[in-house]
Structure 1
Amino acid sequence: MKRRILFTFLACFTSLLYTKAQNEQKTDQVLVAEACMDYLDGFYTGDTTKIIRSIKPRLHKFGFWKNKETGEYKLDSYMTFDEAVAYAKKVAEKNRTLPEGIPKKVEVLDVMNQIASAKVTAWWGTDYILLAKDNGKWMIEQVIWEGPLDRKPSN
């Protein structure tokens, strides 16, 4: 009888530990999505903590903005890591509330062993993001974007 109770206890305890370990282990796909959502939330809310934890210091970000008068797209700007953090700080200082229905979407496109790609849809347009895993952590390395978001994104 004591053996059966001990066996039942050990089986339940082992099952509980296994379930907990499974829940704590996130897939790379989830971790890539979280890094991209930190990037998006960081720019939306001005949370520099999220920017710093999602973007590599060697960030290379640039994009194209559509001229409203001519309809032509032109290279708009480059953004470094320091400029991304400074931009987020400016957003935080304004302390604005995000409007309802603002675009906020992350799609993980591909995940390999060390690299991944994702698409982020935001109020400013669409960003294609390249990430790399460094010491087990997914971080954004490069971003190329186009704005404004003047059409519904294709599925």
Structure 2
Amino acid sequence: SDGYFDATQTFVVGADSDIASFADLAGKNVAVKNATAGADFANSLKDQYGFTVTTFEDSPTMYQDVLLGNSAACVEDTPIMAASIKEGDLALKIPAGMESEGAPYGFAIMNKSNQELLDMFNAGLKNIKANGKYEEILNKYLK
């Protein structure tokens, strides 16, 4: 489908951490989930900034590693982290300037015979963007 949200990956640190840049991670460990965009982002920066990467199978274990102090940061989808932090579920924070470039989310249509469904989705997306409902949803859940 047409892209409906430009998602970024972000480094996340403990709420009381003084890490404010990639350079602050030198000599430290960064937790990532296996085979994710976040892992790719961290691995693309590890040599330049001198940190190591440890892989986990799921988000809760990765977050716990940061909360326990074993890793200085983890990398996760920005909207997921922003929502979890906003809801007060995690004692973590997102330092400014530690995000990846955005990549659009889309609605996957696996069957080529579903062109009508794809067209309906794209038309609906265009409509809610035009009438302000899209921005209302983003503000409620992601900002």
TM-score range, shorter chain: under 0.3
Instruction: Select the structure of larger CA radius of gyration.
Output: 1
Q: Which has the higher strand share?
A: 1
Q: Which has the higher contact order (CA 8 A, sep 6+)?
A: 2
TM-score, normalization by structure 2:
0.24
TM-score, normalization by structure 1:
0.23
